[in-house]
Amino acid sequence: MNWQRLFDIQKQLDDHIVAEHGLNRSELTRHKLLALHVELGELANETRCFKYWSRKPAAPRATILEEYVDALHFVLSLGLDWAYTDLDFTPEAPGADLTEQFQRVIERTVACQGTRTEEKPEASAYRALFSALLTLGGQLGFSEREIESAYLAKNEVNHQRQEQGY
C-alpha cells in the first residue's frame, strides 16, 4: 500500500481541521492519543471479540471496517505530528486471537504516549503501533485494497462533516 499517499491525504484533513477550528497543532497529540483509544474501543465493541458472555454476533463487516479506518486516521495523524511518515510499515506476527491483538495495539499506543504526550516517541515505538494496527486489520480479514478504499471514503465523509460544521 502507498502509505505516503495516505499520509498526504491525512495531512490535508488535519490542516483543514486546524485552520477551521483555530487550533494549535502542537497541543493536539494528547487528544489524538485519547481519540485513538476510543476508536480502538469502538472497534473492539463492534467485533465483540472479548464478549465471552454473549452470543450476539459481531457487527456487519462494513461497520467493523469503518471503525478500523477511524483508528487508522488517528495513527496516520500521529505519524504526521511526529514526522514518522517515511518509515517501513509491515504487519507483525499476529496475536493468538483478536483480543490479544487489540491488547497489543493498545499497549503500543500507550508506549507512544511516553511519560509526557508532548514528547515525541521513538520511531520504533510508532512503527510498532502502526504494524500492530496493520496486523489487526489482517486478522479482521481486510485486504490492503479494502482498507485503502474505506479510508478514502471515510476521509471524504470527514471533509464533508467539517464543511457542515460537525
Residue type, 95: G
In whole angstroms, give the CA distance from residue 11 to residue 120: 18
User: Left (φ > 0), alpha (ψ -120 to 50) or beta: where does 141 sit?
Assistant: left
User: In the numeric block, which cell numbers belong to residue 28?
Assistant: 493536539
Is the predicted pLDDT of residue 116 greater than 70, yes or no? no
Is the predicted pLDDT of residue 159 greater than 90, yes or no? no
State the average pLDDT for the chain.
94
* Arithmetic mean of pLDDT, 83-99: 92
User: How open is the CA angle 102-100-155, to the nearest 5 degrees?
Assistant: 20
Tell me the pLDDT band of 9, cut-offs 50, 70 and 90.
very high
